[in-house]
Structure 1
Amino acid sequence: MPLTDAKIRNLKTPETEKKISDGHGLYLLLKPAGGRLWRVAYRFGGKQKALALGQYPHVSLAEARQKRDAAKDLLAKGVDPSQQVKVDKAMAALASGNIFDVIADEFLAKVTRDGLAETTLMKKRWLLDLARPDLGRRPITAITASEILVALRKVEAQGNYETARRLRATIGQVFRYAIATARADNDPTFGLRGALTTPKVTHRVAITDWQRLAGLVRTIWEYEGALETRAALKLMALLYPRPGELRQANWEEFELDKGVWTIPATRTKMRKEHRKPLPVAAVDILRDLYKLTGTRDLAFPSISAPARPISENTLNAALRRMGFTKEEMTSHGFRATASTLLNESGKWNPDAIEAELGHVGADEVRRAYHRATYWEERVAMAAWWNSEILNLMR
């Protein structure tokens, strides 16, 4: 028997779910909690399905019948009504700018304005491009954890476990941006933390004992390559910055008379300006280099393309020519070398060492404490390290 509004109003709430038919596939699903939900039962592609039409009385009996008839018309045309609903939602989201692609682009524009390093931006663009084929046209609020996992599994299937881990984190950043801009309510990547294969941790290679470091230092100071490369390697040994911080340095960053190098926030990993004390040997090296490149902005211009800095590969290739394999030493390894030996010396506060390395935690108070308290100790530490490095050549 077809339903009437009077019949629906008189229906009692069941103890378990109950279906009340109206005919032609339309029925009212009664929930124990009191909900009354319209559904249309149909078959498509040999499978039994149900299409949700809304809740009574927000959707009246007459409206439910109209929606049922519209669904039947789609079926007659060979279209799955449930799939059409998803398409309609996606089109509405596209029109309102709420699909993943649009929000991801907005997120990238924001972090660009925030001054994120170009190298980091390139990585984020590349990672999001991996996700776009699966998530790009989907409404941000409709994307489920299982959909994201499909995109992540494709990366994992190629053996790229670390890339999959970073992709999950970057997708999560897009969702949190959507939450912050009132276009999403949750971040489905949070529940996927334990779903991915944990990549094997490989520590950066570095020389971490004084005897082997002595051999490296003597070889660097005797190296006969380009002056820019020789100077950069010597300064890596003396100052142990991140290779990119040194390679891309401009002369305006150096105050040689004061013995200070100020690395701008745009080039530091923590996106905070980082000041480093320059010991005597470092100042001497920079003064000699200035005679060659001081007419340019870049302190370490590439020989083949002076408008660009020397590459990290230039430094690593020089180490290879000196006889140090990639399993023994890299340009980034100077940081691990200094960190290990400075800590082992027992002469310096570990927090001062971390501050000098530019390792800054999330605690803003602690960060300010590092800057304010450890500068004098870092100056003394730089002078001590300067003497130890030069003593290795004797």
Structure 2
Amino acid sequence: MIPDTGERQMLTDADCKNANCPPEMKRRRLTDAAGLYLEVSPAGAKRWFWKFYPDGKESRLALGSYPEVTLKAARLARDEARKVRSTGTNPVQARKAALIAKRISAAITFEAVTREYHQIKVEAWSESHAAQFLRCCEKDLFPWIGTLPLRDVSAPVLLDTLRRVEARGATQLVRDLREFAGQVFKYGIHTGKCDNNPARDLTGAFKAHTVRHAAAVLTPAKAGELLRAIAAYQGQPTTRAALLLSALLFQRPGNIRALEWAWIDLDGAMLTIPASEMKRQKAGKLNGRPHFVPLAAQALEAFKSIQPLTGHGKYVFPSLRTGDKPMSENTVNAALRGMGYSSEEMSAHGFRAMARTIMVEQIAGVDPEVIEAQMAHAKTGALGGAYDRAEYMSKRKALMQTWADYLDQLKAGAKVIEFKVA
């Protein structure tokens, strides 16, 4: 039983400040009035309580700690609790209900639902997409609408938020953010956290996004000049090889710079890029087929020329600073700039556009689907990735050799003729 001092007089600020509890007592109560008291522990902690009797049994409501809650504030809190009690409501139960409501409210804010959705999807998404999704939301959505309940984010509110991004000229980011928000609202509808998708209502509300294609050389004459410039490149031999193989293989720049010797079968004339290294969704990276790149004679020669330089290590094009990492993603672009090509004229990614455009326009008989397969472009529809299977391999081998021979003709400055692909 908690000892009571028997004091009945109203407390003063001095009483509260000087209150203490003898070591032999578990706690000491200093009573004010109408059930309010200050409880003091032997350690000196002081807490306010209001005592009342629901159903004839003593109960108490915590009102905070002294001196954070002053005597005056404690009396006001007691009076508010008495008002609640006078309506027939238990103040303790009312506070629990309020805390639950607050917790539920916090769980249905735009930020909370977005993070919940992200956690559900992160296993299926690629690491880069999952990181981009959260990074964009944290930077451009959460600061403005993150604390709002999901169902309170209307189309005008979302529009005002996205207008801030549009004002920076980031029109593609606006499209991405609207798509991300739309996914969150769809999830909110499915889980009963909101009733509509305001992102869908903003279709056409923003400036059109002008797609900027990677700078690329797209004519045979210009391609010939580029190949001669590569042949005359005076920088690192590995960088010159990376430039040449970018043209011969026309794979994504990230795959070129991260090539590993273990992927290359010089005797079988085949480069095999693991599925995990390809630009695919997570399921494709985990369970998909590797990407096969037949190697023309010229590509084999390029690999063999640098094998004595880097063949002892993991990467075909290792970083000059440390051999345990591939070359920088900017190495090929920097080499192009050094050769006199501006960022508007040619880029590392431009080798893909150069190959696809010139092959389709200049080499007769090329099947566009074979080119797409060799470029590892995903194909939609019921057949899905079936077009990347073995029946195309003979055509792909012929395509890669024909392309390499054609590039040799361009580099030599010979008259451009159409090649027939078997």
* Shift in alpha-carbon separation, 1:182–1:357, aligned structure 2, 3 A: farther
The one of 126, 129, 132 equivalent to 1:123 is 132
What is the Cα deviation at residue 152 of structure 1? 0.8
Alignment of 1:189-208 (within 5 A): 189-208=199-218
Moved more, 328-337 or 346-355: 346-355
Alignment of 1:145-184 (within 5 A): 145-178=155-188
Q: Is the 8 A contact 2:373 2:387 kept in 1?
A: no
| Aligned positions, number | 310
Could you list the structure 1 runs, at least 4 aligned residues long, displaced by more than 6 angstroms after superposition: 87-90
Structure-1 residue corresponding to 2:147: 137
Letter matched to residue 123 of structure 1: Q
1:114 matched to 2:127? The reply is no
Structure-2 residue corresponding to 1:299: 316
Q: Is the 8 A contact 1:90 1:139 kept in 2?
A: no
What is the Cα deviation at residue 147 of structure 1? 2.6
Alignment of 1:314-329 (within 5 A): 314-329=331-346
Letter matched to residue 325 of structure 2: R
1:374 matched to 2:407? The reply is no
Letter matched to residue 350 of structure 1: P
Q: Secondary structure at the match of 1:261?
A: strand
Moved more, 206-215 or 276-285: 276-285
Q: Is the 8 A contact 1:250 1:298 kept in 2?
A: yes
Larger radius of gyration: 2
Q: Distance in 2 between matches of 1:293 and 1:280?
A: 20
Q: Is the 8 A contact 1:115 1:266 kept in 2?
A: no
Structure-2 residue corresponding to 1:391: 409
Q: Distance in 2 between matches of 1:252 and 1:180?
A: 47
What is the Cα deviation at residue 335 of structure 1? 0.7
Structure-2 residue corresponding to 1:267: 277
What is the Cα deviation at residue 351 of structure 1? 1.2
1:92 matched to 2:104? The reply is yes
Q: Distance in 2 between matches of 1:89 and 1:148?
A: 25
Alignment of 1:170-249 (within 5 A): 170-178=180-188, 186-249=196-259
What is the Cα deviation at residue 242 of structure 1? 1.0
What is the Cα deviation at residue 285 of structure 1? 1.8
Q: Is the 8 A contact 1:117 1:267 kept in 2?
A: no
* Shift in alpha-carbon separation, 1:108–1:307, aligned structure 2, 3 A: farther
Unaligned runs of 5+ in 1: 1-68, 71-86
Letter matched to residue 202 of structure 1: R
Output one character per residue of 1:313-334: Cα deviation in whole Å (capped at 9) or x when no partner: 2111100111111121111111
Q: Alignment RMSD, CA only?
A: 3.0
Q: Secondary structure at the match of 1:269?
A: coil
Q: Distance in 2 between matches of 1:111 and 1:232?
A: 36
TM-score under structure 2 normalisation? 0.66
Letter matched to residue 301 of structure 1: P
Q: Secondary structure at the match of 2:271?
A: strand
What is the Cα deviation at residue 280 of structure 1? 1.8
Moved more, 214-223 or 290-299: 290-299
1:287 matched to 2:310? The reply is no
Q: Percent same amino acid at aligned positions?
A: 34
Q: Secondary structure at the match of 1:392?
A: helix
Q: Secondary structure at the match of 1:317?
A: helix
What is the Cα deviation at residue 219 of structure 1? 0.9
Q: Distance in 2 between matches of 1:148 and 1:220?
A: 50
The one of 370, 380, 402 equivalent to 1:352 is 370
Output one character per residue of 1:154-202: Cα deviation in whole Å (capped at 9) or x when no partner: 1011222121112112223334455666756654322222111112232
What is the Cα deviation at residue 393 of structure 1? 2.9
Q: Distance in 1 between matches of 2:100 and 2:174?
A: 31
Q: Distance in 2 between matches of 1:149 and 1:138?
A: 15
* Shift in alpha-carbon separation, 1:391–1:321, aligned structure 2, 3 A: same
Q: Secondary structure at the match of 1:312?
A: coil
Q: Distance in 2 between matches of 1:174 and 1:258?
A: 48
What is the Cα deviation at residue 208 of structure 1? 1.0
What is the Cα deviation at residue 294 of structure 1? 2.7
